Amino acid sequence: MADEKIKKVSIIVSRGSLEGVYPGLIMANGARMEGMEANLFFTFFGLYAVLDKYMDNIKIATVGNPAMRVPDAKGFPLPTLLGALPGMSAFATWMMNKTMDKLDIPPVREFIEMISAAGGKLYACKATVDMFGLTMNDFCPEVDKVLTVGEFYELSAGSQIIFT
């Protein structure tokens, strides 16, 4: 078993914050770079990562994030109350984007384009699409299809399913 290689991953992205979206994108990109099949399933607020109107403005969630520290990951814990201050989410997002830019980590739209160009597949959750009143016209062109959960499971047969 230890020598068995993963050939396919199916990644579920359910959170619409910067720290909720990037893990799925990084894992899908890494899978494609390793020659694995990669399927991304965006559900609930994770859909904002592929909604054309919103994907360029994803923010960090500062409220209710017990891991949030200032001024950096090794700094002091940020009390939840301070995370609610006006502008705190925008400031934290600006800091994170600045750091990711230095590390040459692409913005969400570019990352989505890269994953799609590398053969990764992107799907939107039908239940969420219906609940939010969306159509395919609301999504970036890289979204391949809107799927039911059952269709996603069928597509994911034989893969490692990862929930981010």
Give which of 20, 63, 67, 60 is closest to 43, Cα–Cα.
Answer: 20
Q: How far apart are CA 44 and CA 131, in angstroms?
A: 9
Range of the domain at 114: 8-63+107-163
69 occurs within a structural domain: no
Whether the CB-CB separation of 11 and 39 falls below 8 Å is answered with yes
Dihedrals phi, psi of 102, to nearest 5 degrees: -60, -35
- Split into its structural domains, the chain has a count of 1
**pLDDT mean for each 10 residues of the chain (164 residues):** 82 94 96 96 96 94 74 70 78 86 94 97 98 97 97 93 88
pLDDT of residue 72: 66
2 occurs within a structural domain: no
The residues, any chain, with a CB within 8 Å of residue 151's CB and separated by 6 or more, are 126
- pLDDT tens across 62-110, in order? 777 777 776 666 777 777 767 777 888 888 888 888 888 999 999 999 9
85 occurs within a structural domain: no
